[in-house]
Structure 1
Amino acid sequence: MSDPIEVVDNRPRNSEVVPVKESSVNAAWKNFECSTERKKSLQARYVYGFIFLLTNLLAWLIRDYGHKIFPKLYYLKACGVDGLECSRTNGVLRVSLGCCIFFFLMFLTTLKTRKLYEARNAWHSRWWTIKFVLMFISLTIPFFCPSFFIQYYGEVARIGAGIFLLLQLVSVIQFITWWNNYWMPDSKLKQTSILGLFMSTIFYIASTCGLVLMYLLYARRLSCTLNLFFITWTVILFIVMMLISLHSKVNRGLLSSGIMASYIIFLCWSAIRSEPSNSKCSPASEMAGKGDWTTVLGFLFAICAIVMATFSTGIDSQSFQFQRNEVEWEDDIPYKYEFFHAVFSLGAMYFAMLFISWQLDHSTKKWSIDVGWASTWVKIVNEWFAATIYLWKLISPVVRQPKVMNHEETVQHVDSV
């Protein structure tokens, strides 16, 4: 009699199937949560940008019309007689200080946030009612501070604004490098890019036209020696950048130098436009004090430019990372929150300097922004500094290459011995 056949049940039991289903469901739910939190985080930066814009408008209102508001607020002893200590220059500094306090608190409370599921991520992306109350308190406190403290803050704000300009400059140069790498082909592959060459031509033509126009508008007479010096030195920088970028050892192409040339020419133009209205070499002197619609539009455009510069620098934390090859996970935050808020805190100092033209002891005219000799020289120095950093970025690989080769030869010689 044959042995009975034993039937083996190889079907997975429920205890074996459920964990697999649960893990897949949990993974899908986690991906959904990460996607939702990421969207909220990306949307939050626009809300912060809108808050920053409103703060700029508030600073302008208090600067130009605060003298009509604060005399009625008798309980604000810090505002002095007729409320002069809370309007004009000091008023701008007080609003700037409040904005700086708010974003500095956000910097402290979001420091080292790295994952979307952290509580500090929720604080950054949500809880807007509490943050608007915090913003209101931050803007109110400076109006109870004594004037000497506000003056001390003004000195600190000058330094903070300089740091902001430096960060913005690094961000711009990194963007130019990325733009060049994106549109221009790899020289080792011996490819050609018609679009890249076309854009290079456009930038160089625009730069040349800009220089010619500046000579015609701002250096019409030989007596305009300062403007002639500014424009001529910009021409020299323009030529030097072009020649170095085309040098056989550098070989960076024309696109990056063309974009950078346009940028420094824009800075030179902006610096000359910032000269005071009593400057005889500026056609803006003819429009001084009229306050027509072009002045208003220019003022509003300048405010939008401040907000955009702060916003674009704040979200560009990758340009300031020391480790370029960091692995990004799905639950990582899309940008560094602490860097974002730190830049906005410095941006608050920067817009204060523009509204008061970098001068703590003088009041600016209505509908004017970043006008005066101090503003002119800040922009000119910024232009020269930008060109210097860019030129060093071009030649630094060539300068460092012999040192690297000598080091490798020394190592090989030691190994052979």
Structure 2
Amino acid sequence: MGVLRVSLGCFIFFLVMFLTTCFTSKLYDVRNEWHSSWWILKFLMSIIFTVIPFFVPSDYIQLYGEFARVGAGVFLILQLISVIEFITWWNNYWMPDERKKQSCSLGLFMSTVCYIASICGIFVMYVLYASKTSCILNIFFISWTAILLVVMMAVSLHSKVNRGLLSSGIMASYVVFLCWSAIRSEPATQKCSSQQQNNAHGGWTTVIGFLIAICAIVMATFSTGIDSQTFQFRKDKVQSEDDVPYKYGFFHLVFSLGAMYFAMLFISWNLDGLPRKWSIDVGWASTWVKIVNEWFAATIYLWKLILPVVRQTKVMDHEETEQQMDNSTSV
């Protein structure tokens, strides 16, 4: 309940920032100064909003926990889209095209490293988490991840898609990491979990790893917040010099959703019971959230590869239909 109360305070603070900056478009706007300065006032506001939820009845906090599950899921979707857009940009930057005859040696090297790391990760997970035939669920998770790797590579190398190996290699490493993280979140009481053999220092290892993950999530939240152009419906708008560099409202909205996601990590997505000591982000709820996140990431990436081909096919069919109508009219 304490975690949810702190999360609620952070959510309210960023929600207020969202409401006060959501329509900021110019640098000379007063709301631009409110977003970029007034740090002492905003620091006091954050403290006040963090303290207020501790006076709210527990029933309302429990209701916020249910709402936070949905918000955390939305945050994961936004983060996935931002990560995939970054992977696409990286692939376009390092791989050559017909107009730019630049070297692709670094891109090929990075794709090779990513695929080797992904294959090694699959092999290590089989050895550590699926060495017994009774570990059916882990075998399914790892095997399906391996299938996703093959499918992503095959689609990206298809003649109609032709996106190369770099983007699919980075995505392969990402989905393997998500699979490993999901299996690591399985309860330590399970016979297929290697955490049950950990010594007393395993708890500190879990906390240190979790702190590193928190830093990574903070960076991902910040990068997603300033990546508002990815989520715009119209991307052909020309930006002038006095326009804001990114959408301030969207930035604070992402951080408000990120506050919900942090809460779900600390309570392992479980609102019904208390987690075990040193068991941060551990439980079947956390495991399935990460597995679904992995499958959803692969689905979005594959759809992003196939979408241009589908659009091109529809355009060609439309042009052929118009041409046939013109021919029939002329006859």
> TM-score, normalization: structure 1?
0.76
Residue deviations 1:168-190 (CA, integer Å, cap 9, x gap): 00001101100000000115777
In structure 1, C-alpha distance between the alignment counterparts of 2:99 and 2:175, rounded to whole Å: 30
Paired position in structure 1 for 2:56: 145
Is 1:301 the counterpart of 2:212? The answer is yes
- Deviation at 1:315? 1.4
Paired position in structure 1 for 2:19: 108
Paired position in structure 2 for 1:269: 180
- 1:126 paired residue among 25, 37, 42: 37
Paired position in structure 2 for 1:333: 244
- 1:386 paired residue among 294, 297, 304: 297
- 2:161 paired residue among 242, 247, 250: 250
- Deviation at 1:415? 4.0
- The answer to whether the Cα contact below 8 Å between 2:203 and 2:279 also exists between their aligned partners in 1 is no
Larger Rg: 1
Tell me: CA distance 1:249–1:167, structure 2 relative to 1, closer, same or farther (3 Å): same
- Deviation at 1:325? 2.2
In structure 2, C-alpha distance between the alignment counterparts of 1:278 and 1:337, rounded to whole Å: 45
Tell me: CA distance 1:96–1:333, structure 2 relative to 1, closer, same or farther (3 Å): same
- Deviation at 1:365? 3.1
What is the count of residue pairs matched by the alignment?
328
- The answer to whether the Cα contact below 8 Å between 1:310 and 1:343 also exists between their aligned partners in 2 is yes
- Relative contact order, CA 8 A, sep 6+: which one is greater? 2
Residue deviations 1:240-282 (CA, integer Å, cap 9, x gap): 1111111111111101110111110000000000111112112
- Deviation at 1:291? 5.0
- 2:150 paired residue among 211, 234, 239: 239
Structure 1 unpaired stretches of 5+:
1-89
- Deviation at 1:98? 0.4
- Deviation at 1:294? 2.2
- Deviation at 1:199? 1.1
- The answer to whether the Cα contact below 8 Å between 1:231 and 1:268 also exists between their aligned partners in 2 is yes
Is 1:162 the counterpart of 2:73? The answer is yes
In structure 2, C-alpha distance between the alignment counterparts of 1:250 and 1:214, rounded to whole Å: 31
In structure 2, C-alpha distance between the alignment counterparts of 1:199 and 1:303, rounded to whole Å: 26
Tell me: CA distance 1:274–1:187, structure 2 relative to 1, closer, same or farther (3 Å): farther
Tell me: CA distance 1:187–1:209, structure 2 relative to 1, closer, same or farther (3 Å): farther
- The answer to whether the Cα contact below 8 Å between 1:299 and 1:367 also exists between their aligned partners in 2 is no
In structure 2, C-alpha distance between the alignment counterparts of 1:134 and 1:352, rounded to whole Å: 20
- Deviation at 1:306? 2.6
- The answer to whether the Cα contact below 8 Å between 1:277 and 1:288 also exists between their aligned partners in 2 is no
Is 1:356 the counterpart of 2:296? The answer is no
Tell me: CA distance 1:297–1:234, structure 2 relative to 1, closer, same or farther (3 Å): same
- 2:276 paired residue among 365, 370, 379: 365
Paired position in structure 2 for 1:321: 232
- The answer to whether the Cα contact below 8 Å between 1:278 and 1:285 also exists between their aligned partners in 2 is yes
Paired position in structure 2 for 1:136: 47
- Deviation at 1:164? 0.3
In structure 2, C-alpha distance between the alignment counterparts of 1:415 and 1:386, rounded to whole Å: 44
- The answer to whether the Cα contact below 8 Å between 1:302 and 1:369 also exists between their aligned partners in 2 is no
In structure 2, C-alpha distance between the alignment counterparts of 1:369 and 1:314, rounded to whole Å: 26
In structure 1, C-alpha distance between the alignment counterparts of 2:207 and 2:233, rounded to whole Å: 42
After TM superposition, the runs of 4+ consecutive aligned structure 1 residues lying more than 6 A away are 188-191
Between 1:196-205 and 1:365-374, the stretch displaced more is 365-374
Structure 2 unpaired stretches of 5+:
none
- Deviation at 1:333? 1.1
The amino acid of 1:104's aligned partner reads L
In structure 2, C-alpha distance between the alignment counterparts of 1:223 and 1:316, rounded to whole Å: 44
Between 1:116-125 and 1:287-296, the stretch displaced more is 287-296
- Deviation at 1:312? 1.8
Is 1:199 the counterpart of 2:110? The answer is yes
> TM-score, normalization: structure 2?
0.95
| Counterpart secondary structure, 2:134 | coil
